[in-house]
A and B are shown apart, each in its own frame.
Chain A
Amino acid sequence: MPTVNEEIVQKYIAGCRKHKKESQYALFKQFYSYAMGICRRYARNSDEASDILSDSFLKVFSHIEQYDSSKPFKSWLGKIITNTAIDYYRANLKFGQQEDVEDHEHISDEASVYGKLAYDDLLALVRSLSPAYQAVFNLYAIDGYSHNEIAELLGITVNTSKSNLHKARKRLQELLDETTKMERPTIRTK
């Protein structure tokens, strides 16, 4: 991804503060790939990803006054997208997807290296998880949230968050194994 020129970004943001359409368009286009990347990970399908994206930018433009210019815009945007995605998750998920901690100490750290797997393949695998697993895995493994933060965000217990992460990993491992059954190179990482 090309390096974001902060100076240009700040110029766009200044225009957005004045509700200039062209600045909004420029900012949207500048961060489209990054933002859509997050949306796709959390969404169940591409249509929902577009909805999350547009709702997120709607919040960005509506609350642009609250953005602290001393901090990277990208981080602020990422946070808004994640929160919007969680709103969608809450709307999607009302029951049945969260599970309590079970015995998972036997899960090995064995993993496969699937470096050649394309972005679309990985995305499809994440989306194949249940919404609860998908949300926790995204938040923890990719976006770097702690279990405490996840528990608060999703309204679940820390143990449930840990359990869902564990099961998400396990499920992904199974799916990876199925996907590359014929030519799976494996390594033991620990």
Chain B
Amino acid sequence: MQEKHPIDELFKDGLTDPDIPFNEKDWRRLSKKLRGNRKRTIPLWVWAGSAAAAAIVLAIMLFVTNRNTRSTIAESPGYTQKTPAEAPPSSGVQRHSAVSPGNGLADKPAVDDENRSKAIPPPVGRMQAAATDSQGSPALSAAKTTYALLSSPTATASLTPRTDSLYNTSIIRPARTMIGPPDARMQQPRYRVAGPPQRGWAFSILAAPDLSGTQPLGGKLSGNIGLIATYRLSNRFSISTGALYARKRYAADFAEYRPSATWNNSAGSPTLVEADCGVLDIPFNIGVNVSQSAKSSWFVSAGISSYLMLRETYNYSYPPHEYGYPQQITLHNQNRHMLGIGNLSVGYGRKLTPSLSVTVQPFVKVPLTGIGNGNLKLYSSGIAISADIDLTRRRKP
């Protein structure tokens, strides 16, 4: 039980529940903060809806990719096919395919028209290519062989049906693999017409040193590292997303620092704010190939990122002889900037193997909203270097 001191009693009686007239100014001040807060707070249902939508899109993409990949591998020339002797005797569904003679590829044409007609009706107007690669290694040799096949002027000179018992349940589809220089493809009009766009997944491991600051193309040395998943929609377009851990180090004049909670003037005004933040960057970009050859490609990419501020540390520097003011604050998981950053980049990719390439990608990240506790306009400019693994090509039946 607390003692009842007369001074306490006097002030408690006099200061408790005063009658203070309502002041609209205070409501306006609160309204302003509420508006700012609303921009920064994403309701739970938006998170849940976005996650569900993303899951559905990914599921559809994976489903489509899976089907395409199976078809592509099954129909790729260069795939080492089992001979009928190796196939289970009961295999009834036959694969409709074609090979090109004259390019050194093994070719064992065989037709089982009876089975084929029972199991799967041959697609009208569709031609398929398949070939065995005498070097083995179906996944890696597929692209090479395809390239050789498509580069050959005689590639489509003869399209002979053959059977293949590997995919008992596979549906006959047109060949989808279209690798090779544009001129080579131009020589293969039947392939070009019959083959739908090349689709598939690629995963990239990425490291990207950058400069972060309140001005573009400048600032303190920072960095990003993470994983990116890319889905090719066609030979020209792709979409990508992923997760990058970014360390953002930057400095700003206090005039540029606009914290959501009003800075208390009695706490003094720093001259400089130095930040060191850990950020989860979730990008969503669209890439467009502007130039492509067999071994390399140039592309541009644009998109938008969300920053989840995992940790924010701000160091305040004051004028000389000012002491006793806040020197540093650290926040954890306080700020989220959904779709708050614009991404722009150009890139050059170079194939090392059919399934592995390296990409160098200068980029700039442009703030679309205030970032972090100080609502700063935070730019990042740097060069991303990534190793890209084409999963479609590596995929095995």
Contact = CB atoms under 8 A, between A and B. Distances in A.
Given A34-B17, A37-B17, A24 B22 contact: no
Contact of B324 (A24, A44, A95, A113): A95
B6 A111 contact: yes
A1 interface: yes
A140 B1 CA distance: 12
A92 B267 contact: yes
A113 B18 CA distance: 19
A8 interface: no
A61 B35 CA distance: 12
Interface string B313-341: 00000000000111000000000000000
A36 B20 contact: yes
Contacts of A179: none
Nearest to A62: B37
Contacts of A51: 29, 261-262, 264
B326 A111 contact: no
B16 A142 contact: yes
Contacts of A126: 11, 15
B20 A24 contact: no
Nearest to A171: B7
B45 interface: no
B6 A58 contact: no
A58 B34 CA distance: 6
Contacts of A1: 17, 19
A62 B26 CA distance: 18
Contacts of A76: none
Contact of A122 (B2, B6, B15, B26): B15
B18 A119 contact: yes
Nearest to B325: A94
Most chain A CB inside 10 Å of its own CB: which residue of B6, B262, B325: B6
Nearest to A51: B262
Contacts of A141: 5, 7-8, 11-12
A104 to B, nearest CB: 12
Contacts of B11: 122, 125-126, 137, 141-142, 172
Contacts of A189: 6
A45 B264 CA distance: 11
Interface in A104-156: 109, 111-114, 117, 119, 122-123, 125-126, 137, 140-142, 144, 146
B125 interface: no
Contact of B22 (A29, A48, A92, A114): A29
A1 B22 CA distance: 13
Nearest to B28: A54
Interface string A45-62: 101101101110110011
B89 interface: no
A45 B10 CA distance: 21
Q: Using C-beta atoms within 8 Å of the partner chain, give the interface range for chain A.
A: 35 or more
A189 B8 CA distance: 12
A41 B326 contact: no
Given A91-B264, A169-B5, A54 B15 contact: no
Nearest to A57: B30
Contacts of B261: 51, 55
B5 A111 contact: yes
Nearest to A65: B44
Contacts of B12: 141-142
Contacts of B265: 47
A24 B324 CA distance: 37
Contact of B30 (A58, A94, A109): A58
A150 to B, nearest CB: 11
Nearest to B43: A19
B316 to A, nearest CB: 11
Contact of A28 (B2, B20, B30): B30
Contact of B33 (A32, A54, A111, A142): A54
Given A1-B17, A91-B326, A142-B15, A48 B8 contact: no
B5 A114 contact: no
A116 to B, nearest CB: 10
A109 B5 contact: yes
A88 to B, nearest CB: 6
Contact of B8 (A54, A114, A123, A142): A142
A53 B18 contact: no
B334 to A, nearest CB: 12
A173 interface: yes
Interface in B137-183: none
A111 B15 contact: no
Contacts of A88: 264
A113 B10 CA distance: 7
B41 interface: yes
Given A36-B26, A119-B18, 19 more contacts: A25-B27, A28-B27, A28-B30, A33-B19, A33-B20, A37-B17, A40-B18, A47-B265, A48-B266, A51-B29, A51-B262, A54-B30, A91-B264, A113-B6, A117-B14, A126-B15, A142-B16, A169-B7, A173-B7
16 contacts: A24-B34, A25-B27, A32-B26, A33-B20, A33-B21, A33-B22, A37-B15, A37-B20, A40-B20, A50-B26, A62-B37, A111-B10, A119-B18, A126-B11, A144-B2, A173-B7
